Structure 1
Amino acid sequence: MKKITLYSFLLLCLLSCNKNTENIESQSKTKTEESSIKNLNIQMNSFTEIDSTGILIFPLQMGQNKRDDGSYSYKKMPDNAYWNIIFLNSNTNEYHLLTEKKILILDYDYKYNAEEGINISKKTDHIFYDVRSLDYNNDKLINEKDPVYLFVSDRFGNNFRPISPANYSLNTWKYIQSSNKVIMTVTKDSNRDKLFDDKDEILTFEIVLDQSETPKEVFQTELKDKLKKLYDRDWKRIK
């Protein structure tokens, strides 16, 4: 009986020690994270009003202080990219983030990619974004090697969603007012080398805003095959 009691006591001591060790490690980890977070500086260098709606957008960058050894606590973001946007309704002082997912915003456009001098502000129901959101080559980074997608939201920064085809990289896009379509050219990783370069095929897609929003290829296989035959006929491959 005494042996059982002794074993029970030792077991309790061991469990208690393990719990204390876990608490100490947890507290140490928390302090390290808090110290690292304190080295971050939220940077709202500029903001823009969406037409005359009173809706303001604040693109977010993040600065950080160097460690004593010259290194940084966080991975460096690509230059000229934003990791999120704050939307502020200046009429009500309500605000929210565009998304809580990990993304890189390369550009945003609420003028529908219109040429200078063309005013379609009366149609500003959407904001468009060039975004990197997928680690396509599985290198645990989101950078210039990963595809660019076209995203859209309403002018309040709600219903943020992709509208370009998955696993294609966006090249150009334009809003066509008369048909309420977005026409875009995208690069397909044709040779499956996890790169988007001049060795790959460039295709044209379209979507109709606020409908199914499923991107569809504009030029069908029949036409593409014809183009290849004509090119091969008129511009023979060098042997």
Structure 2
Amino acid sequence: MRISSKLLLISSVFLLGCGVISDHSANNELTYKDTAANFQPIVTDFNNPVLLDSSQNVLFPLANPTDDDRMSFKSSEQVSYWNIAFYNSLSKKYHLLDNRKMIILQYEDQKELSSGTDVYSSEAHDPNPAQGLNIDGKLICYSVIIEDFNKDQKLTYADPKYLFTSDDAGNNFKQISPTSLNVVSWQRVAKTNKLLIEVQSDSNNDKLFNNKDHMVPYVYDLKKGGPAEPVFSKEFNQAVDKLFKEQWPDAKK
């Protein structure tokens, strides 16, 4: 009788265990089906996530549909983005960088910013988790086209590139380079925490930015904020031009 009782007890435990596993599998299957049913296909393509060093924030660049002829920023030479989604993996909150129409050509990490990457020759940032975008714990820099400068009713690579910044959560997105001046390159002066920005002016008023236009250095104070300022005064520039013409009268400038 004792053996029979033990066998009965073991059998009951085994059957109970099987029942629990069966219910758990059914619940998982139901959950997976519900999750799949809630998936909503969208037009937007979310690129690979970019992890920020020492931060819970994650970037999801939104690639431009370069295979769509209707988009004015179509280009086969450079990857660009029409926006960036920021996601806080701790709070689960998310938002877009900005709601304006724009072309984001580049966003910079600390290594690239310190070396002064040329925004023309550099490709868009490679989303490598080992290369974070956390600059001084807060700052991210962007090369952005946002103004229809030549008034052709669309944004194109012919329009000026402006330098924008935000914190590492994608907040306080703002333009720091002067309007109507095309940003060619920038680099950080680490000891003074300033950005040196090289810009082009449309000096011949042809609504184009090329080697016929003048290059002008600007400086932006990351701590002080405010607008970027010319490195040299108007009086100094005039004195330099005068000296150049006196010493090199036959040279074209």
Residue 147 of structure 1 is matched in structure 2 by 160
User: What SS does the corresponding residue of 2:238 show, helix, strand or coil?
Assistant: helix
In structure 2, C-alpha distance between the alignment counterparts of 1:76 and 1:226, rounded to whole Å: 43
How many Å apart are 1:142 and its aligned residue? Answer: 0.6
Change in 2 beyond 3 A, CA 1:200/1:39: farther
How many Å apart are 1:226 and its aligned residue? Answer: 2.4
Gaps of 5+ in 2: 1-39, 117-131
Residue 53 of structure 2 is matched in structure 1 by 51
- RMSD value, Cα: 2.8
Residue 228 of structure 2 is matched in structure 1 by 215
Superposition TM-score, scaled by structure 2 size: 0.69
Change in 2 beyond 3 A, CA 1:219/1:65: closer
User: CA-to-partner distance for each residue in 1:63-102, whole Å, 9 max, x for gaps?
Assistant: 4887xxxxx5x42533311000000111222111000100
One-letter amino acid of the counterpart of residue 154, structure 1: D
Trace 1:47-196 onto structure 2 (pairs within 5 A). 47-63=49-65, 74-79=70-75, 80-111=79-110, 113-115=113-115, 123-196=136-209
In structure 2, C-alpha distance between the alignment counterparts of 1:39 and 1:89, rounded to whole Å: 23
Deviating more after overlay: 138-147 vs 119-128: 119-128
In structure 1, C-alpha distance between the alignment counterparts of 2:210 and 2:41, rounded to whole Å: 38
Change in 2 beyond 3 A, CA 1:218/1:65: closer
In structure 2, C-alpha distance between the alignment counterparts of 1:191 and 1:228, rounded to whole Å: 17
Deviating more after overlay: 57-66 vs 79-88: 57-66
Change in 2 beyond 3 A, CA 1:238/1:186: closer
Identity in percent: 32
Structure of higher CA gyration radius: 2
Superposition TM-score, scaled by structure 1 size: 0.73
Which protein has greater RCO, CA pairs closer than 8 Å, 6+ apart? 2
How many Å apart are 1:227 and its aligned residue? Answer: 2.1
How many Å apart are 1:39 and its aligned residue? Answer: 10
In structure 2, C-alpha distance between the alignment counterparts of 1:56 and 1:212, rounded to whole Å: 25
